Amino acid sequence: MEAKVTFDVDRCKGCGLCASVCPKQIVALDETVTNRKGYHPAGVTDISKCIACASCAKICPDSIITVEKF
Ligand code: SF4
Ligand code: SF4
């Protein structure tokens, strides 16, 4: 199975909730990036480990994460 996780980066407020619930610990705030709102946005560090559980997408208060599996 392959997974794809997409973040609407400019709408992320950097709250870190998605990172806190990922069972594979592959979601992190990217401190090398500052988005339009002035936050470090979340992203996936190693997509090959993603199990497409969608926990990150479900917990995001602003619903900016999309999880797809193929
Ligand atoms: S779908 Fe699940 S495993 Fe994949 S990044 Fe989100 S929380 Fe982590
Ligand atoms: S839960 Fe949503 S708003 Fe919060 S850091 Fe993750 S993607 Fe950004």
Tens-place pLDDT, residues 5-61: 999 999 999 999 999 999 999 999 999 999 999 999 999 999 999 999 999 999 999
Residue nearest to ligand 1 atom 6, measured at CA: 56
Q: DSSP secondary-structure letter at 17?
A: H
- pLDDT in the model for residue 54: 98
- List all residues whose CB is within 6 A of at least one atom of ligand 2: 7, 12-18, 42, 60, 62, 64-65
Per the structure, how many domains does the chain have? 1
Atom of ligand 2 nearest to the CA of 63: 2
pTM for this predicted structure = 0.96
Whether the predicted pLDDT of 1 surpasses 90: no
* Atom 2 (ligand 1) nearest CA: 53
- How far is the CA of 4 from the CAs of 7, 8, 28, in angstroms? 10, 13, 16
- Residue 61 belongs to domain spanning: 3-69
